[in-house]
Amino acid sequence: MSDPFKQASGNMKVLTADENAEGRLDAWMTAQLGEEFSRSRVKVLIKEGNVSSKGKVVADPQKKVRPGDIFEINLPEPEDPTPKGEDIPLDILYEDDDLIVISKPSGLVVHPAAGNWTGTLVNALIHHCGESLSGIGGVRRPGIVHRLDKDTTGVMVVAKNDVAHRHLSQQFADHGRTTPLERAYQAIVWGHPRSLKGMIDAPLGRDTGDRTRRAVKRPGTADADEAITHYEVLERFCEKPDATSLASLVECHLETGRTHQIRVHMAHIGHPLLGDTVYGAGFKTKANLLPEVAKKAVNGFGRQALHAYMLQFEHPRTGEVMRFEVPLPDDLIALIEALRTVDV
């Protein structure tokens, strides 16, 4: 029997199913890759979009393997050494022996990953907290129980010991259905939703064409995760005689916490975030409709207009309900003020 495992360019491997191949993709791949990869690790690789066949991403670990199938596998870089502490300033809102609450600035990546092995929030936390974070939640993500995108600002909580990590992780996994957990964001979006208050119930999963993006999925599909966002329009900018607006300030409350959830959901209903080059690139030319001052402010805003302004949770040791709010950062305030100057 020929060896089904073939080296391709870079970290790409190719597996070809022989005449005896059968069963689920994750189980079959695990058997081919050997002891270096556990089945759980292979399953994650598949769900994260690292496996393709005939040029299309295969994100379903349960896909049936048939003789002759050819799969290309993008194997991530080998694990780097444990992240080291770096003296990166932290805006600390609260801290005790169990947890630390911070206000995350724009541009700060939460944990080390490809392209950002240093200069992350994890590096800053290791420097600030010392050895207490070691081993909590994994080597790359010590203490991390939730995350914000690199360019999203706002409040985050980090665990400082195993008990706190387990308790907080359970609250985030529960999405506040049976716990006091609550998360609220403010965003500036193009246009304004037809209903000034509403709910977006649209499952999310990996974009089949780009593994770094998320996309709305049909309910019941293999990689579709429940995703629910509640929104309310707080202010409309550049209102026109026909009752439309060029942009709006909205508040979003998460009933679930999926990657890029607010960004994808708002784009899904036709109102992507200002500055979002991933999910709102097609709306960039709308800035040309603005007077020069507002146009300059919109074009110069170098990130998605999203801020996690409120986080509420139960303290893992005392049971106290803790609530933290962080006002809008200066760049978002400046953008709002520029939009308010527009007289249509």
Contact 72, 51 (CB under 8 A): yes
Catalytic residue check, 162: no
Cite the DSSP H helix spans in 48-176: 121-129, 162-174
Rounded to an integer, what distance in angstroms lies between the CA atom of residue 329 and that of residue 185? 13
Catalytic option among 26, 69, 149, 223: 149
If we measure between CA atoms, which residue out of 76, 8, 82 comes closest to residue 48?
76
Length of the chain: 344
Rounded CA-CA distance 252/264 in Å is: 13
Asked whether 268 and 191 are in contact (CB, 8 A), the reply is no
Rg, the chain, Cα only: 22
User: Judging by beta carbons within 10 Å of its beta carbon (0-12, 13-18, 19+), is residue 220 exposed, middle or buried?
Assistant: exposed
Buried b (16+ CB within 10 A) or exposed e, 185-213: bbbbbbbbbeeeeeebebbbbbbbeebeb
Which residues belong to the active site?
149
